[in-house]
């Protein structure tokens, strides 16, 4: 754990986002509105507010940057097993379109 002195919240966010990793972060404060604003702006897979390492099986888990690709747990983990495809064709070329759909 690292505790640092800071002058502005923007400085805290810049320091947090200026790292090679982004698996987890924690914000400890009495100002919950400010905590959510900071958490929203920190590029980390998980941000705990006034707690740490509290995980739920339904919550997605994974990091940003060098801390991982994709997510484990929760609905987001399904994305690791899906492939997206985009098919494009000219609108004026409907010949055989109905047959192709059947």
**Tens of pLDDT along 43-57?**
888 888 998 888 777
Within a domain: residue 85? yes
Within a domain: residue 70? yes
Within a domain: residue 16? yes
The C-alpha atoms of residue 32 and residue 43 are separated, in whole angstroms, by 18
60 token code pair: 């997605």
In total, how many domains does the chain have? 1
Contact 47, 36 (CB under 8 A): no
**Residue 57 lies in domain:** 9-101
The C-alpha atoms of residue 43 and residue 12 are separated, in whole angstroms, by 12
pLDDT of residue 12: 87
Q: What is the pTM of this model?
A: 0.62
User: Could you tell me which of 80, 73, 35 has the C-alpha nearest to residue 55?
Assistant: 73
Within a domain: residue 68? yes
Within a domain: residue 1? no
């Amino acid at each position: 754990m690292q505790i640092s002195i800071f002058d502005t919240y923007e400085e805290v966010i810049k320091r947090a986002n200026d790292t090679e990793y982004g698996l987890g972060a924690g914000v400890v404060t009495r100002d919950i509105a400010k905590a959510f604003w900071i958490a929203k702006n920190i590029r980390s897979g998980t941000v705990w507010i006034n707690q740490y390492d509290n995980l739920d099986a339904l919550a997605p888990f994974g990091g940003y940057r060098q801390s991982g690709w994709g997510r484990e747990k929760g609905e987001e983990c399904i994305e690791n097993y899906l492939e997206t495809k985009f098919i494009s064709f000219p609108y004026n070329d409907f010949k055989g379109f109905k047959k192709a759909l059947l």
